[in-house]
Amino acid sequence: MFNFRVMWSSMLIGVLLLTYVTVECVDGICTQNPLKVNAECQPSVTTVSGTHAPKAICSGAMIFDDEFDEFDFETWQHEVTLGGGGNWEFQYYNNNRTNSFTDDGILFIRPSLTSEQFGETFLTRGYLDINGGAPADRCTNSQWYGCERTGTPTNILNPIKSARIRTVNSFSFRYGRVEVRAKLPAGDWLWPAIWLMPAFNAYGTWPSSGEIDIMESRGNRILLQNGLNIGTQEAASTLHYGPYQQLNGWNRTHWVGKNETGYDRDFHLYQLEWTQDYIKFCIDDVELGKVDPGKGGFWNYGGFDSNRNILNPWRYGSKMAPFDQKFYLIINLAVGGTSGYFPDGVQNPTPKPWLNSSPKAATDFWDAKEAWLPTWGLDKNDGKNAALQVDYVRVWAL
């Protein structure tokens, strides 16, 4: 014999209509006794903006939900650039259903080969101008030669095509809970990420206005560093913040989740809780890391206060600055790069084909395609195992 109670609630604009249903079960026989009570909407500290932001927010309400039954181009805007994300990554981000599509309620961010469209010779001799005429085709980032490039035998054009989508126009928010159910890709040198960037750069350029990485990982199934597998068995969460690029306090706010089977084998929940007092990351409801910067804020927490010659960009913000402003969502799949995310000296079934100090890293990577391309499995199951797969993205107000 057992007893339990279940409570449901539904939300109206500005008003919560709470429906309490008492369910009594004895020896398998259950009866319900509903009682409806009106209660005013509790105000939320969460704030939102954008074309798809809700007009009214109640505490605890879901303010963003995409189940990917279809690709909503009004919600997600594609980045179109050759820039390599500031890390000299090897992909060309574009708006094409080969690289970003939905199927059976799942979003796929899938890599492909640039040579499939232009031919392999084009990589070493071609000229690529991605400034399209239509609004959706315009280059979104000209930095790092992002809109025009010419290929040479030494510095080839971006050999991989992929996608990076964001809600920069449609939805940004400050404070809330985020949950993304996703399956990570498998394939050497793939770099999936789910993250947040500031909508307005209220404290200056990166990393002064912050960056919130909910999840990033590596697609190698066996990638050893000092005997530890740092490939698909790891998924990391990180905060980036600092007065300028060369002074970034990320190492104090970086946490790594471990899964011996690999995060590419199944779907997992990647979660963020972002409040006025702390930021917490979880995977599958298990806390990965949490930071409360204290009264001194991230200036003191990051140890920047020890240098009196550096100006504090957050001195007029709250203790959570720069994480007290609105951020938007980003989902992308990068490849390689020279920032050190794929360290030199790692052990892989086939050696890492480029050095991070190499002036022709993309060429070295492409020349070794017979080693890494089979690990992507693009010729099987439409290459979906090499794709970052997202079941849903949900955000709740605090």
Domain that holds residue 365: 47-396
CATH at residue 100? 2.60.120.200
* pLDDT tens digits, 126-171: 999 999 989 889 999 999 999 999 999 999 999 999 999 999 999 9
Same domain, 187 and 62: yes
* b/e 260-298 (16+ beta carbons within 10 angstroms → b): eebbbeebbebbbbbbeeebbbbbeeeebbebebeeebb
pLDDT at 215: 98
* pLDDT tens digits, 310-330: 999 999 999 999 999 999 999
Same domain, 64 and 205: yes
The reply to whether 356 falls in a domain is yes
The reply to whether 73 falls in a domain is yes
* pLDDT tens digits, 184-206: 999 999 999 999 999 999 999 99
Distance CA 125, CA 121 (A): 6
The reply to whether 219 falls in a domain is yes
Same domain, 253 and 220: yes
The reply to whether 1 falls in a domain is no
* pLDDT tens digits, 80-103: 999 999 999 999 999 999 999 999
Same domain, 35 and 128: no
Average pLDDT (112-138) is 95
pLDDT at 356: 98
The reply to whether 292 falls in a domain is yes
SS in 3 state form for 255-284? EEEECCCCCCCCCEEEEEEECCCCEEEEEC
Q: Decide if 82 contacts 128 (C-beta within 8 A).
A: yes
Q: Name 6's bridge partners.
A: 21
Region for 294 from its dihedrals, namely left if φ exceeds 0, alpha if ψ lies in -120 to 50, beta otherwise:
left
Structural domain count of the chain: 2
Distance CA 320, CA 299 (A): 10
Q: How far is CA 91 from the centre of its chain?
A: 16
Nearest alpha carbon to residue 192 among 162, 169, 222, 168: 162
Same domain, 191 and 104: yes
Compute CA distances 38 → 10, 17, 41, 57, 62, whole Å: 11, 5, 10, 17, 19
Sign of the CA dihedral with 239 first, then 244, 245, and 248 last:
negative
Same domain, 36 and 126: no
pLDDT at 29: 44
Q: Name 62's bridge partners.
A: 396
Same domain, 108 and 133: yes
The reply to whether 299 falls in a domain is yes
SS in 3 state form for 54-97? CCCCCCCCEEEEECCCCCCCCCCEECCECCHHHCCCCEEECCCC
DSSP letters spanning 326-340: -EEEEEEEEE--SSS
Same domain, 264 and 204: yes
* pLDDT tens digits, 1-60: 333 333 333 333 333 343 334 344 444 444 444 433 345 899 999 999 999 999 989 999
Same domain, 53 and 22: no
Average pLDDT of the chain is 91
Which is more confidently placed, 29 or 70? 70
pLDDT at 34: 42
Please give the model's pTM, rounded to 2 decimal places.
0.90
pLDDT at 39: 58
Distance CA 219, CA 233 (A): 9
Same domain, 347 and 201: yes
Q: Decide if 181 contacts 267 (C-beta within 8 A).
A: yes
Same domain, 182 and 34: no
Q: Decide if 9 contacts 42 (C-beta within 8 A).
A: no
- Residue 292 is encoded by which pair of tokens? 């409360």
Same domain, 185 and 287: yes
Cα end-to-end span (Å), the chain: 37
pLDDT at 6: 34
